[in-house]
């Protein structure tokens, strides 16, 4: 335990981290994922999708000005916001699912902070060299050589950062037009401000803040820690196999001492419980040769052999690094591995390793999967059964009704008709009711209204009950407005109420 | 694996603890990252700079103006000017075209602009009497503008003229003017009772048939000059139709008698001096679109 004699430091400078290049299946997977994720991010706004002359031809477009969201063949209107709510619920359940099954897999593979930091490290390694070269450069004086490398690196980072901020705004406007406007200085201020802000955050977060974001700024690690249980897969060190660690001369001495001691006291059992370090036997060295490969590759600058810790984003690069060493020294792979908490007690007890899938497939994750899928299927069904025409009815209640000169009672309604089809359409407005009611449209002789493609129309509609009609003397009459697209079978309805004079 | 909950298992390189222990859980005394401190200083600099650049510190009768000279009020008036400039063309059109030609089919943009502008003008200047929903107030004699009954006519031109010049507006020679005679003292109580029953009967309400037929002559002699022989009214004179179901001051026997005895009429200001021609025209189009337009 550390002593409390010296006054504790209030502030600590950032420890520089120089992750070493690593090869292996997890690294390869991360490369593939990085190319995939960055590819989607940069290319998507440039995909074209023909929707006819009246609609934009960008496959993915968040059209704020016109309040539309386009995603390939899907077009979402503001009143269909429940799709966004559904996707958010799916994202929430997906977080439960992935975190309970695979721990901080999001942090290790898919988080933009991880992906861009990884990319920035790649650039750094490419320009300044691998770990040792970068360490030397860091300690070196600021001469021409250092300036040249540093400035080159910052320029490349800056280019990536500009491209990152630049790509973001293309999702909100026609990409080719916006690119031309951005380059010719004709784009809106908000576009430049967004590009500038995202450029700055990408440059600073990816190039300098890096692991500090994950450790100090991000709430995710804390939230995720609360969702993990003893079957959650995390990156861990098999200390019952690796300890006591040692290398070189020390390792040879340990081995010799152990052999000597075993001749006296018989075979030893490796991996005794913590605290029981005063075993009489001298232990044989564990598989860990203390080469520090796992520490050298860690982008978070931690030693995984200290146990699972808050800083670990489970990027699995230490697994690749350790496996490479284990193969070289002729030991089995997996000294550092994806493990669940139960694996420790299980393997210490001498049982065989439980397959990862056995940890992942358990009631909790299956229930999450079922819930997640149910919402997903629900959204897809909703997407297919949604009508392409729609109406909302707002009754004008000031006044509730108007008496006409012949004694008729008239109610007024503002009906908004949405034509979500790709073509102009003529709609017939009508109603069904148990009582006799007459419909009239403001500014129109008949009951037809034209709504242009992908637009809405607000139409004032009058409903009239003559003095001899039941509805004029009743307080309320429920009825149903119908809107029918002329020439097609598409129709939509909305229930509402007619206010009469009431019994007198 | 280390058991951080157990003090005996703290590692040599672990930071100090704060000395706080809850159920055996101790709190590390980790130092704050230094960049966090710099961010804190940055926010202070930002805060100071902001109060210098923008209105901030309150005084007795105002606040410091800030060296950028920004104010939300100025921003709003800039916005208003910007939109006024954008709408200048539509506003000019509203004064030049024939109002009847402004409709959804032929000039949707102008029509939409007129309704929005008219609605705003109505809410500002007309709703005090006619109500926000334009339903009027019967008890006070403010006409309902939604129905199909008009004292002075419900075409666009007639509505426009009423808005522009007002009713019994002494400042405007072009105003609408009519006054009903107060018949108390001119007609006897009996005659008044007869004519009230006559009016009740021609408007389809319950009336004493004998008294009503006795009122025929009284009506023809005294009322028909303005309201017409059949009581259908005369828009040219602003005389209301007495045969329909709409009553400005109420259609009960008491209300009618009160009107006959003491006469009733309201006034409305003319708006041509206060509102621009475009605003008057827009308001006419708006009122015309409320359901009673002819």
- Same domain, yes or no: A251 and A336: yes
Q: How far apart are CA A164 and CA A119, in angstroms?
A: 12
Computed over every residue of chain B, the mean pLDDT equals 90
Q: Which residues contact A58 (CB under 8 A, 6 or more apart)?
A: A45, A47, A48, A49, A70, A174, A175
Distance of CA A55 to the CA centre of its chain: 28
β-pair partners for A458: A416
pLDDT for A269:
52
Return the number of other C-beta atoms located less than 10 Å from residue B61's C-beta: 5
SS3 A57: coil
Question: In terms of CA atoms, which chain B residue is nearest residue A404?
Answer: B147
User: Where does the pLDDT of residue A351 fall: very low under 50, low under 70, confident under 90, or very high at 90 and above?
Assistant: confident
* Statement: residue A307 has pLDDT above 90: no
- Same domain, yes or no: A172 and A240: no
DSSP states along A132-144: HHHHHHHHS-S-H
Q: Using alpha carbons, select from A205, A124, A160, A98 the residue that is nearest to residue B35.
A: A205
- Residue A265 sits in which domain range? 234-363
Nearest-neighbour CA in chain A from B113: distance (Å): 14
Q: Count the domains in chain A.
A: 3
- Same domain, yes or no: B95 and B151: yes
- Residue B30 sits in which domain range? 1-57
> For residue A220, is it within any domain?
yes
pLDDT for B3:
44
Whether A213 and chain B come into contact, CB under 8 Å, resolves to: no
Whether B204 and chain A come into contact, CB under 8 Å, resolves to: yes
Whether B61 and chain A come into contact, CB under 8 Å, resolves to: no
Q: What is the CATH number of the domain that holds A403?
A: 2.60.40.10
Tokens of B218: 């009284």
Whether B103 and chain A come into contact, CB under 8 Å, resolves to: yes
Mean pLDDT of B258-268: 93
| Omega prior to A252 cis, within 30 of 0 | no
Tokens of A27: 């690294």
Q: Which residues contact B282 (CB under 8 A, 6 or more apart)?
A: B94, B113, B114, B115, B117, B118, B121
Q: How far apart are CA A462 and CA A395, in angstroms?
A: 10
**A164 burial level (CB within 10 Å; 0-12, 13-18, 19+):** buried
- Same domain, yes or no: B219 and B245: yes
- Same domain, yes or no: B92 and B162: yes
Beta strands A11-12 and B32-33 are parallel
> For residue B184, is it within any domain?
no
Tokens of A128: 């300044």
Tokens of B199: 């009016």
Contacts of B10 in chain A (CB under 8 A): 1-2
Distance of CA B142 to the CA centre of its chain: 14
Over the stretch B175-192, which tens digit does the pLDDT of each residue have?
Answer: 999 999 999 999 999 999
Rounded to two decimals, the pTM is 0.79
> For residue A369, is it within any domain?
no
Whether A2 and chain B come into contact, CB under 8 Å, resolves to: yes
> For residue A18, is it within any domain?
no
Please say which residue of A202, A225, A248 terminates a domain: A225
pLDDT for A242:
86
- Cβ of A406 within 8 Å of Cβ of B244? The answer is yes
Q: Count the domains in chain B.
A: 3
- Same domain, yes or no: A122 and A40: yes
- Same domain, yes or no: B139 and B9: no
> For residue B62, is it within any domain?
no
Sign of CA dihedral A366, A371, A374, A379: negative
Question: In terms of CA atoms, which chain A residue is nearest residue B244?
Answer: A405
pLDDT for B117:
95
Question: In terms of CA atoms, which chain B residue is nearest residue A4?
Answer: B16
Backbone angles phi, psi at A230, to 5 degrees: -75, -10
Q: How far is CA B68 from CA B50, B82, B126, in A?
A: 10, 21, 40
- Cβ of B31 within 8 Å of Cβ of A8? The answer is yes
Q: What is the CATH number of the domain that holds B221?
A: 1.10.760.10
- Same domain, yes or no: B195 and B252: yes
User: Where does the pLDDT of residue B13 fall: very low under 50, low under 70, confident under 90, or very high at 90 and above?
Assistant: low
User: Where does the pLDDT of residue A273 fall: very low under 50, low under 70, confident under 90, or very high at 90 and above?
Assistant: very low
- Same domain, yes or no: B32 and B98: no
- Same domain, yes or no: B90 and B45: no
* Statement: residue B62 has pLDDT above 70: yes
Whether A403 and chain B come into contact, CB under 8 Å, resolves to: yes
Contacts of B32 in chain A (CB under 8 A): 10-12
- Cβ of A8 within 8 Å of Cβ of B29? The answer is yes
Sign of CA dihedral A52, A57, A60, A63: negative
- Same domain, yes or no: A96 and A166: yes
| Omega prior to A431 cis, within 30 of 0 | no
* Statement: residue A270 has pLDDT above 70: no
Interface of A with B in 433-462 (CB under 8 A): 442-444, 460, 462
- Same domain, yes or no: A349 and A491: no
Please say which residue of A172, A201, A225 terminates a domain: A225
pLDDT for A161:
96
* Statement: residue B6 has pLDDT above 60: no
- Same domain, yes or no: B194 and B255: yes
CB-closest option in A306, A406, A462 to B11: A306
Whether A66 and chain B come into contact, CB under 8 Å, resolves to: no
> For residue A71, is it within any domain?
yes
- Interface ipTM: 0.83
Mean pLDDT of A37-51: 93
Please say which residue of A225, A251, A269 terminates a domain: A225
Over the stretch A239-250, which tens digit does the pLDDT of each residue have?
Answer: 888 888 888 788
- Cβ of A2 within 8 Å of Cβ of B37? The answer is no
């Amino acid at each position: 335990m550390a002593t409390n004699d010296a006054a504790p430091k209030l502030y600590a400078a950032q420890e520089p981290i120089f992750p070493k290049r690593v090869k292996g299946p997890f690294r390869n997977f991360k490369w593939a994922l990085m190319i995939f994720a960055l590819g989607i991010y940069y290319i998507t706004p440039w995909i074209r999708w023909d929707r006819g002359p009246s609609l934009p031809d960008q496959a993915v477009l968040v059209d704020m000005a016109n309040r539309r969201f386009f995603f390939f063949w899907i077009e979402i209107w503001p009143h269909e916001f429940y799709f966004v709510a559904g996707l958010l619920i799916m994202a929430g359940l997906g977080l439960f699912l992935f975190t309970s099954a695979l721990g901080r897999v999001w942090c290790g593979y898919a988080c933009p902070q991880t992906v861009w930091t990884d990319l920035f490290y790649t650039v750094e390694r490419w320009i300044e060299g691998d770990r040792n070269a970068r360490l030397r450069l860091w300690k070196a004086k600021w001469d021409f050589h250092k300036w040249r490398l540093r400035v080159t690196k910052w320029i490349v980072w800056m280019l990536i950062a500009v491209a990152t901020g630049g790509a973001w705004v293309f999702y909100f406007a026609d990409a080719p037009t916006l690119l031309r406007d951005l380059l010719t200085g004709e784009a809106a201020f908000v576009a430049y401000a967004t590009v500038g802000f995202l450029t700055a955050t990408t440059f600073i977060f990816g190039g300098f803040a890096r692991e500090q974001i994950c450790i100090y700024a991000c709430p995710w690690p804390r939230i995720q820690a609360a969702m993990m249980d003893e079957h959650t897969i995390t990156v861990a060190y098999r200390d019952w196999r690796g300890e006591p660690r040692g290398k070189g001369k020390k390792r040879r001495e340990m081995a010799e001492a152990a052999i000597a001691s075993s001749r006296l006291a018989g075979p030893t059992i490796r991996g005794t419980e913590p605290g029981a370090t005063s075993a009489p036997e001298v232990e044989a060295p564990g598989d860990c040769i203390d080469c520090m490969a796992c520490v050298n590759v860690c982008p978070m600058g931690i030693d995984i052999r200290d146990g699972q810790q808050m800083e670990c984003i489970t990027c699995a690069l230490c697994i690749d690094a350790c496996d490479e060493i284990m193969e070289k020294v002729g030991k089995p792979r997996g000294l550092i591995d994806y493990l669940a908490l139960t694996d420790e007690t299980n393997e210490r007890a001498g049982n065989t390793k439980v397959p990862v899938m056995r940890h992942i497939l358990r009631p909790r994750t299956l229930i999450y999967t079922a819930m997640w899928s149910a919402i997903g299927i629900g959204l897809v069904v909703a997407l297919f059964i949604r009508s392409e025409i729609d109406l909302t009815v707002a009754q004008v209640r000031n006044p509730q009704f108007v008496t006409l000169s012949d004694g008729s009672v008239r109610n007024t309604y503002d009906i908004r008709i949405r034509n979500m089809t790709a073509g102009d359409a003529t709609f017939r407005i009508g109603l069904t009711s148990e009582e006799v009611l007459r419909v009239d449209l403001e500014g129109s002789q008949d009951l037809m209204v034209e709504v242009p493609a992908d637009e809405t129309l607000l139409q004032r509609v009058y409903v009239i009950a003559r003095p001899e009609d039941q509805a004029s003397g009743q307080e309320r009459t429920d009825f149903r407005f119908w809107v029918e697209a002329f020439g097609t079978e598409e129709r939509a309805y909305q229930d509402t109420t007619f206010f009469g004079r009431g019994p007198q | 694996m280390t058991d951080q909950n157990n003090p005996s298992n703290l590692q040599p390189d672990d930071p100090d603890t704060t000395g706080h222990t809850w159920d055996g859980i101790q709190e590390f005394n980790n130092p704050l990252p230094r960049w966090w401190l710099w961010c804190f200083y940055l926010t202070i600099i930002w805060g100071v700079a902001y109060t210098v650049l923008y209105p901030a510190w309150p005084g007795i009768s105002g606040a410091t103006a800030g060296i950028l000279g920004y104010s939300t009020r100025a921003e709003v008036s800039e916005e208003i000017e910007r939109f006024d400039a954008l709408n200048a063309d539509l506003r000019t059109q509203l004064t030049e075209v024939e109002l009847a030609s402004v409709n959804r089919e032929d000039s949707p943009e102008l029509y939409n602009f007129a309704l929005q502008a008219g609605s705003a003008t109505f809410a500002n200047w007309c709703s005090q009497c006619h109500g926000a929903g334009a339903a009027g107030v019967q008890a006070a004699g403010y006409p309902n503008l939604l129905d199909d009954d008009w004292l002075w006519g419900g075409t666009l031109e007639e509505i426009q003229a009423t808005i522009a010049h007002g009713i019994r507006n002494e400042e405007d020679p072009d105003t609408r003017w009519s006054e009903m005679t107060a018949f108390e003292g001119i007609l006897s109580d009996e005659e008044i009772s007869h004519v009230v029953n006559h009016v009740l009967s021609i408007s389809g309400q319950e009336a004493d048939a004998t008294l009503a037929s006795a009122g025929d002559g009284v009506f023809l002699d005294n009322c028909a000059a303005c309201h017409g022989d059949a009581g259908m009214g005369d828009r040219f004179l602003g005389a209301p139709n007495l045969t329909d179901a709409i009553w400005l001051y109420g259609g009960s026997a008491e209300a009618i008698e009160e009107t006959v005895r003491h006469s009733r009429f309201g006034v409305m200001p003319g708006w041509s001096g206060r509102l621009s021609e475009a605003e008057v025209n827009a308001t006419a189009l708006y009122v015309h679109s409320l359901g009673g337009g002819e």
